[in-house]
Structure 1
Amino acid sequence: MQSSKTIRHAVGLLLLAATMLPNAATADEKARILIEQAVTGDHREADNAARDRYRHPKKTLLFLGWEPEMTVVEIWPSSGWYTEILAPITRPRGIYYAANFAMTADRTPDWRKDVHKAFMEKLEAHPDVYDHVVVTELSVPERTTIAPPGTADLALTFRNVHNWMKGEYAPAMFAVMHRALKPGGVLGVVEHRAAPGTSRAKMVESGYVTEAHVIELAENAGFELEARSEINANPADDKSHPAGVWTLPPSLRHCRRMDQGDQRDRCLQRYREIGESDRMTLRFRKPG
């Protein structure tokens, strides 16, 4: 756990750097500097930082076009992995809405309420990093105003679409994000990628979703596909696992169900060598 003094120092350097960026620097250069400083900041939890090699936050945010003055909405930040990066980079000149699980929705399961409570405790423990984060609730159809309508420049969702499909409310969630974005705003989607032609039932069961289905959901909500990236691809993931995507790190669900012993150890080693899932990275735009 980092001391409050250390975190204040780190965030102070980030804010100072934001004011010292050369006037001639391009928007991409300014964004790159701020993201690099956030990714390497002392405020990050070690376990989260260790996953950067799979989640590629710097490349992902630059591909999606993040800029320092943007209003950003993250959908279901859960325990706050991306919050550790989005909060510092939006603090100097942007706005960050964290549209997390709804505490007041009757159908929100207890485990999600527990995750949300832990998320709030994370923010409260380090106000020097998170004091500006605007937390909203998202659950359809009960809580759907995640930011003032038509004000967000960038909406982000990381590995959530398969959950929405399981709950039969994926179209509604894409509509929520469309409503929050201003005309010309960008939607960034990162999701576990299924092989083309995978059935809907298999997608729900495995947690892997085809690119075609995500694109269909987005286009039906009024978005236009602008670009794709292989930033978060993993060719070693063949998507054929006994417990779906949760077989792989960080869950390792299949192996963790085994009794302690050599078989369990070999199982863990096998799936750790594969790494985290193969993922699509898509950039959509709301016509403006």
Structure 2
Amino acid sequence: MRIPAILAGAAVALSSPALADNHQSDDAQMENALNLESVLLHPRRAEDRSRDDARNPAETLAFFGVEPGMTVVDYMPAGGWYSRVLIPYLGEEGTYIGLNPELHPSLTGYWDMYRNATTRIPSDAAEWVGDDGAQVIGLNTDDDLEAHAGTADMVLVFREMHNMRRFGWTHDSMMAFRTLLKDGGMVGVVQHRAKEDAPVDYAMGQNGYQRQEDVIRLFAIYGFDLVSASEINANPADPADWEGGVWSLPPSYRGAPEGSEERARRAEIGESDRMTLLFRKVD
């Protein structure tokens, strides 16, 4: 891990639109950056750490303005890569809400991990981080959300916009975001980015890539204003037009057998080009 990059997260945070409203002191920002550094270097992240250079967690969370003590909704935590960062970083005063979509009965196998979030996510979190950090709550979008309405400071959506669109989860998920967020609450999005001129059919969800302007328009429809965009997670080497979708790149390498020249070529490209967007809930 590049330690200087982590510490630089404090500098990133200085210009974060979310933090700008809080007038957080330089000392507090540096304390948060050092706290996040210790979380990222924890032994429980030994296997996760290999993807830090592609996912840039310190810089990304600083840009979004995530702070200890917040209530943060993590949409579709899956295997817990970001959960192992967020839960300990939010700390004992914070709350972590893992939110999963309602699944059609035909979606089974891999997708079963998203069912029964009320019990599954707290149980998974206990395996991921023990009792270290925030209170953990699990919800599905079809649950009664009123007990948690207006409690969340932020919703985070990491590389799931394509799944929302291809499986028809967009409306229920967006409405759940609005229900859970406080007035003026924020949504941070990281998403595989298609080229601006990508054909509509390519960017509907089945290939993983989304056009940035489409994502911005979609949030606008549901009452979220774009606050800022960042190139923290950009990768200009990604042509973003793979026949096999984003899964053609590391770590999946779809269609590129191990040991092949093509796999080596894709390894040089790295993971996908990604947009990083920050939205605010409006009335």
- Aligned-pair identity (%): 35
**Who is 1:280 aligned against?**
275
Matches of 2:215 and 2:146 in 1, distance apart?
21
1:150–1:179: 8 Å Cα contact kept in structure 2?
yes
Question: Do the aligned partners of residues 146 and 154 (structure 1) sit closer, same or farther apart at CA in structure 2, a change above 3 Å counting?
Answer: farther
Match of 2:131 in 1: 128
Residue type of the alignment partner of 2:105: D
- TM normalised by structure 2 equals 0.81
1:151-205 superposed Cα distances (whole Å, 9 cap, x missing partner): 1001000000111111133233222212211011110000000111323321133
Match for residue 246 of structure 1? 247
Deviations 1:33-53 (A, max 9, x none): 221111111121x33110000
Look up the equivalent residue of 1:40 and give its one-letter code. Answer: L
CA contact under 8 A between 1:75 and 1:157: conserved in structure 2? yes
* Distance apart, 1:270 and its partner CA: 1.3
Q: Is the 8 A contact 1:136 1:147 kept in 2?
A: no
Deviation of the 1:120 alpha carbon: 6.1
RMSD between aligned alpha carbons?
Answer: 2.6
1:71 and 1:94 in contact (8 A); partners too: yes
Q: Which runs of 5+ in 2 are unaligned?
A: 1-23
* SS of residue matched to 2:260: helix
Q: Could you state the TM-score of these two structures normalised by the residue count of structure 1? A: 0.80
Correspondence for 2:156: 156
The C-alpha deviation readout for 1:98-147, integer Å capped at 9, x for no partner, is: 113558x6354231114769966643334233673222223xxx347397
Aligned pair count reads: 255
- The aligned counterpart of 2:34 is 33
Q: Is the 8 A contact 1:248 1:272 kept in 2?
A: yes
Paired amino acid for 1:210: R
- State the match for 1:177 in structure 2: 177
**Conserved? CA contact 2:190–2:275, under 8 Å:** yes
Aligned pair in 2 of structure 1 residues 67, 127: CA closer, same or farther (>3 Å)? same
Instruction: Work out whether 1:109 is the aligned partner of 2:108.
Output: yes
Task: Map 1:264-275 to 2 at 5 A.
Answer: 264-275=259-270
Residue pair 1:124, 1:130 contacting (<8 A) in 2 also: no
Superposition deviation, residue 285 in structure 1:
0.6
Unaligned runs of 5+ in 1: 1-22
Summarize deviations over 1:80-110 as a string: whole Å, max 9, x none: 010010010112321111113558x635423
What is aligned with 1:207?
A: 208
Q: Please state whether the residue corresponding to 2:132 is helix, strand or coil.
A: helix
Instruction: Indicate the structure (1 or 2) with the bigger Cα radius of gyration.
Output: 1
Against the structure 1 CA distance between its residues 172 and 123, is the aligned structure 2 distance closer, same or farther, given a 3 Å change threshold? closer
Q: Which residue of 2 aligns with 1:51?
A: 51
